[in-house]
Amino acid sequence: MISVASYNIRKSVGTDWRRDPARILDILNEVDADIVALQEVDRRFGSRSASLSPEMITERTDYSAISFGVRAQSLGWHGNTILYRRGIEVLYTRSLTLPALEPRGAVLADFRIGEEKLRVIGLHLGLVDLWRRRQAQSVLNQLDVLDEALPTVIMGDLNQWTTEGGCLSHFAASHRVIEPGPSFHSTKPVLNFDRIITTMDVEVTGSGVHMSDLARKGSDHLPVWARLKIDQQAAQVSRTA
């Protein structure tokens, strides 16, 4: 069993308007996933320095961070990065550029977890429906041209107001779209902005929204999580198709 999570940390600024990276890391320890996709990990202006430092992540959690930042002080690519539990092997990483009116991107990492291989995409889609659709299709197109097909999880803040249609229809054509539950606004969650999407060779055995008292204060989003099981027979078919 593999556990994953996604969390828009809003640059570590909580609902009390305090920037508290230690609180974010405590929340991640509560969630206790094997792999975590983070959004809005870097500050937006100036040096765009990371609100979480790799050193602090290592000191306070069992995670290591993949640095996708192109600036010396940044950790993410357009704010996106991926954390993985120490002991998991990173096989490959890359950044994905997405079409947008405003800067948007996604990050990709292939992992070996015990006997399994898993591809993880972390992303944060735009605020405009037309561009969200284009961004979703761009992610799928960039996955299609990779040399090796792997069981894949796509997760992040989709900014999709509706529970179906829009960019979700692009993913749903060939993927499972999981709805862990309302994750925004963290003080009174009513919107399903944060989603987990998998290829058909990944079985989701459980999913949900992490609603601890600490999480309600850490960001305007709540973390979402899923437990996964790879269907080896289906994965083999996908690799040979």
| pLDDT per residue of the chain (241 residues) written in tens, 0 to 9 | 999 999 999 999 999 999 999 999 999 999 999 999 999 999 765 456 889 999 999 999 999 999 997 776 788 899 999 999 999 999 999 999 999 878 899 999 999 999 999 999 999 999 999 999 999 999 999 999 998 999 999 999 999 988 788 999 999 999 999 999 999 999 999 999 999 999 999 999 999 999 999 999 999 999 999 999 998 766 665 555 5
Please tell me the pTM assigned to this model.
0.94
Q: What is the DSSP string of 78-112?
A: TTBEEEEEBTBEEEEEEEEE---SS--EEEEEEEE
CA 156 – CA 125 distance, rounded (Å): 8
Neighbours of 233 (CB within 10 A): 9
Q: Which uninterrupted H or E stretch holds 156?
A: strand 152-157
CATH of the domain at 130: 3.60.10.10
Domain enclosing residue 100, as ranges:
2-240
Domain count, the chain: 1
The answer to whether residues 20 and 55 touch, using CB atoms and an 8 Å cutoff, is no
The answer to whether residues 86 and 102 touch, using CB atoms and an 8 Å cutoff, is no
